[in-house]
Amino acid sequence: MDLKELVSTSNLADIALIKSLLDSEAIFYLAQGENFHLLRPLIEPVRFLVSEADLDRAKPLIESIRLSYGPLVHSSGDEDA
């Protein structure tokens, strides 16, 4: 499965919201760095990776919400996981 980065954030509220949205649409995702982020949140954000096939469904979900405080990166989808 080819995974692409959807979004990354360091904010715990954003992480929970993104997970909830993706779960509600049955979009498989990998929250890369989630466990490490809990130990050292300022080192690296949590990166949400989704399959290339689900990227077009997932992007509008993220774009439709107003995410909270913290570094946030919307991926162009060009990076390989």
Q: Using H for helix, E for strand and C for coil, what is the string for the chain?
A: CCEEEEEEECCHHHHHHHHHHHHHCCCCEEEECHHHHHHCCCCCCEEEEEEHHHHHHHHHHHHCCCCCCCCEEECCCCCCC
In a domain, 63, yes or no: yes
In a domain, 67, yes or no: yes
pLDDT (tens place) for every residue of the chain, 81 residues total: 799 999 998 888 899 999 999 999 999 999 998 887 667 766 788 999 999 999 999 999 998 888 775 444 555 555 444
In a domain, 80, yes or no: no
| Domain range for 48 | 3-74
pTM for this entry? 0.77
Q: Give the gyration radius of the chain's Cα atoms.
A: 12
The total domain count for the chain is 1
In a domain, 79, yes or no: no
In a domain, 25, yes or no: yes
Here the CATH number for the domain that contains residue 45 is 3.30.70.790
In a domain, 81, yes or no: no
Q: Nearest CA to 6 among 53, 42, 38?
A: 53
In a domain, 70, yes or no: yes
In a domain, 33, yes or no: yes
